[in-house]
Structure 1
Amino acid sequence: MQDTPRARALAKELRAVRNAAGVSMRQVGDVLGWSEAKVSRFETAQRGLTLESAQAFLDALSVTGHKRDRLLKMARELDQPVWWEFGGGVPVQLSELADAESRSTRITSVAGVRIPGLLQTREHSRALLTAFGVEPGGSVEQLVAIRQVRQGILTKPDPVEYEAILDEAVLCRAIGGGKLMARQLDELVRVSSLDNVQIRVVPFSVGEHTGLDGGFHLLEFVSSRPVVHLEQRRCGVFLDDPDDVAPFVQARSTLRQTALGLDESAELISTYARRHEREG
């Protein structure tokens, strides 16, 4: 199996299972008849990651039940193309983000400048991407469509738990004009009514707060340790070292206490929506 985002994700989860069991690479290799180097390559998706090898690996660790079923499902789907691998032209960083989002159980987005992509309407995304200098026509429309499809993780049968913490400044700027911004804010209120979605606003009255240090996305998984995704223009980076991720987890905790409650946040968003509608 080639080294792909999904293969690396499965390999990381298999390594996490072994570590949780307290078994070394040498020990599991002895059971399987593999060298320690082969186990290492397997756990980094460099070589030998197949459904059969994943089954043998889980057998060696005596993994059963839901965890085994979930990991084997991931292994079966390694060779099945997914939407972000069709057609080409999708930046590698975007495909890796989409893959990570699809495997997440919980995502927290902290935003101080613009509404997160998973909450944007089609028109809002189009206006932003055009302003960012993405070439008009096909490229903009492709990225808008991708952003819309990514949002499916919020409404699928087993949806991701999604939390957005927005600075009040995000609500102020009339992206695409007042009418369009009003529709976008109405959409935020609608989405916030979903059981798996929470949207909080940090009001101007708070003054300075830790979210002003920059926006980020914190993605959490069933077995793998959480990662942070940072993005700037057309590039993005993942942080997965626990020491690097810890400050972002702390920032989320602090911002939850700083932000308005869910009902107060929805009320403030609606107030801005009506203001943009009047001024549009």
Structure 2
Amino acid sequence: MAATAGTPRARALSAALREARISSGIGVRALARQLELSHVQISNWETGSRVPDVETVAMILAAIRVSPAERERILDIARNVREPNWLTVGMNGIPQQLAGVVECERAAKSIVEWTPMAIPGLLQTTEYTRAIKETGGLPQTDIELRVMLSASRREVVTRQDPVHFHALISAAALHEPIGRDGVMLEQLKHLVAMAGRPNIAIQIVPLRIGWHPGWAGPFVLYEFPDTSPVVHFEHHSSGAFIPAEHDVVEYQKAVEYLCGVAMDEVESVDHIGEVIDHMEGAP
């Protein structure tokens, strides 16, 4: 099943197996002895370089004694791991697909994200994220868990060997008042600070320039060092990974177009600074 290694589903499966084993308190070598397998095989499955079949996944889950609900969740990923596209419809499916997003972020060599109405998640402040999550009507404990997860995901742009992140942001997102007083101002100052990192490029796409492909909706393009690129887009209650080459090429063209109409990096930071000055000078 090596052909599926590196796909978002395969990455989600490897992460699920790894986290389930760690939660059980069983080491890789101990699990390998219990199953009479090589510890290298276990490691390959947990890193995503190899993909186990459904029967093997079931055997692993039985050995580490996961809960029935967790067992079914992980087996569902394994059963569909060969499917190239990953479409999720309904709020209940988003957390499962989020595991694929997190693993793509960790494994990518570069990420390009276009956001027409909000600040990209990897560049959000904690309070900006919390303000968005609070509009969903979730219990406070769920909100805090999601805020913590979002904060942990940002490590990919600040770690020792960070991913290269290119943010294309509509100017509209800079002016939309998200959260209570001060949240948006803090967020914009954070954008300026992050733009100073060598692995982060921020370009603002101005308004009133006519139609462009970005108006079709937000998307994220992941490029990997060892596998083909994929596109991900997520809406309120649905999301999809698109790995098909002809679709990825179209999104790469969209990125090129958006870069062409956007302000350059220096102009973008200057523009954000002007918005900050206006906010600080407002009565």
Do the two structures share a fold, i.e. TM-score over 0.5?
A: yes
- Determine the structure 1 residue equivalent to 2:168: 165
Q: 2: distance between equivalents of 1:265 and 1:6?
A: 32
Rate the CA distance shift 1:146–1:53 in 2: closer, same or farther, 3 A.
closer
Rate the CA distance shift 1:49–1:160 in 2: closer, same or farther, 3 A.
farther
Of residues 229, 236, 257 in structure 1, which corresponds to 2:239?
A: 236
Q: 1: distance between equivalents of 2:38 and 2:169?
A: 40
Matching of residues 51-70 of structure 1 within 5 Å: 51-52=40-41
Instruction: Report if the CA contact (8 A) 1:154-1:160 is conserved.
Output: yes
1:103 aligns with 2:107: yes
Provide Cα deviations, 1:139-195, integer angstroms capped at 9, x if missing partner.
111111100100000011111000000111111111114421011000000001000
Aligned residues: 219
Instruction: Report if the CA contact (8 A) 1:165-1:201 is conserved.
Output: yes
In the TM superposition, what is the alpha-carbon distance from 1:136 to its structure 2 partner? 3.4
Of residues 2, 8, 11 in structure 1, which corresponds to 2:10?
A: 8
Of residues 141, 155, 158 in structure 2, which corresponds to 1:138?
A: 141
Instruction: Report if the CA contact (8 A) 1:107-1:163 is conserved.
Output: yes
1:277 aligns with 2:271: no
In the TM superposition, what is the alpha-carbon distance from 1:228 to its structure 2 partner? 0.5
Q: 2: distance between equivalents of 1:277 and 1:136?
A: 33
In the TM superposition, what is the alpha-carbon distance from 1:236 to its structure 2 partner? 2.0
3-state SS of 2:215 partner = helix
Ranges of 4+ aligned residues in structure 1 off by more than 6 Å: 3-7
- Identity of matched residues, %: 29
Rate the CA distance shift 1:246–1:195 in 2: closer, same or farther, 3 A.
same
> For residue 212 of structure 2, what is the amino acid of its counterpart?
H
Unaligned runs of 5+ in 1: 12-47, 56-70, 80-87
Q: 2: distance between equivalents of 1:141 and 1:54?
A: 32
Rate the CA distance shift 1:134–1:147 in 2: closer, same or farther, 3 A.
farther
Instruction: Report if the CA contact (8 A) 1:112-1:169 is conserved.
Output: yes
Matching of residues 1-280 of structure 1 within 5 Å: 8-9=10-11, 51-52=40-41, 91-131=95-135, 133-279=136-282
Unaligned runs of 5+ in 2: 14-36, 58-69, 71-91
Tell me the TM-score normalised to structure 2 length. Answer: 0.68
Q: Give the alignment's Cα RMSD to 1 decimal.
A: 3.4
Q: 2: distance between equivalents of 1:6 and 1:49?
A: 25
Q: 2: distance between equivalents of 1:120 and 1:164?
A: 12
Rate the CA distance shift 1:180–1:251 in 2: closer, same or farther, 3 A.
same
- Determine the structure 1 residue equivalent to 2:80: none
Provide Cα deviations, 1:239-280, integer angstroms capped at 9, x if missing partner.
001112111110001111110010100011111122233347
